[in-house]
Amino acid sequence: MGRGIIVKESFITLGAGCFWCTEAVYSQVKGIISVESGYTNGQQPARPSYEQVCTGTTGYVEVVRLGFDPSLISAAEILEIFFTIHDPTSLNRQGADAGTQYRSGIYVEDESHRSIAQSLIHEIDSSGVLGKPVVTEVQSLRNYWAAEDYHQRYFEQHPYQGYCAAVIGPKVAKFKQTFQRLLS
């Protein structure tokens, strides 16, 4: 950040399956100020653990909460990436990760982001490009809890771990090829 420049940071929270994958992609995007893995929009308990969320009974979603500089990247560009890096037509599943905690979701704190998300979903569905309707939920962010420290920057710290090498690495490579203009 330059000297004397005050940035009004905006936030959006995204569920696109495993938060390690989503965090690995967005941590490389120009204009993204912060990326934090966490859990959102669940019922009980407050401050859930990874193990509790994995039971599928808490209502929480694995997400990343993004802080971004809207003068460098728009919410529409962030959502363009989102709809490309996961399957938004798959209900409660991304690849081998299955359960309600892996559902596709956009959780907004700014109502303009809701409008952008709904417009993009309508555009995708109308085009028929995905062959099936988008099942991504668009909701207000009701609650959010940061995931445990060992989940933060997971891919960065464990690039050769089995899941990272087999799933996250190829996803990040595809993202970089598709979105070169948005790389930091």
How high is the pLDDT of residue 1? 47
Helix (H) or strand (E) holding 140: strand 137-140
Is it the case that residue 71 has pLDDT exceeding 50? Answer: yes
Residue position matching structure tokens 């009701």? 142
How high is the pLDDT of residue 3? 57
Residues 8-12, mean pLDDT to the nearest whole number: 94
Beta bridge mates, 68:
10, 32
How high is the pLDDT of residue 38? 97
Kindly report, residue by residue over 106-121, the tens digit of the pLDDT: 999 999 999 999 999 9
Residues 76-96, mean pLDDT to the nearest whole number: 94
Residues 45-50, mean pLDDT to the nearest whole number: 90
Is it the case that residue 45 has pLDDT exceeding 90? Answer: no
Distance CA 29, CA 183 (A): 5
| Two structure tokens written together for 98 | 């299955």
Residues 151-175, mean pLDDT to the nearest whole number: 93
Contact call for residues 84 and 175 (beta carbons, < 8 A): yes
CATH fold of 10-182 reads Peptide Methionine Sulfoxide Reductase; Chain A (3.30.1060)
Kindly report, residue by residue over 118-159, the tens digit of the pLDDT: 999 999 999 999 999 999 999 999 999 999 999 999 999 999
Is it the case that residue 6 has pLDDT exceeding 80? Answer: no
Kindly report, residue by residue over 14-26, the tens digit of the pLDDT: 999 999 999 999 9
Cis peptide before 45 (omega within 30 of 0): yes
pLDDT-based confidence at residue 5 (cuts at 50, 70, 90): low
How high is the pLDDT of residue 95? 86
* Residue positions annotated with a catalytic role: 18
| Mean pLDDT over each residue of the chain, to the nearest integer | 94
Q: What are phi and psi of 130, to 5 degrees?
A: -95, -10
Q: Where in the chain are the domains?
A: 10-182
Contact call for residues 32 and 9 (beta carbons, < 8 A): no
pLDDT-based confidence at residue 58 (cuts at 50, 70, 90): very high
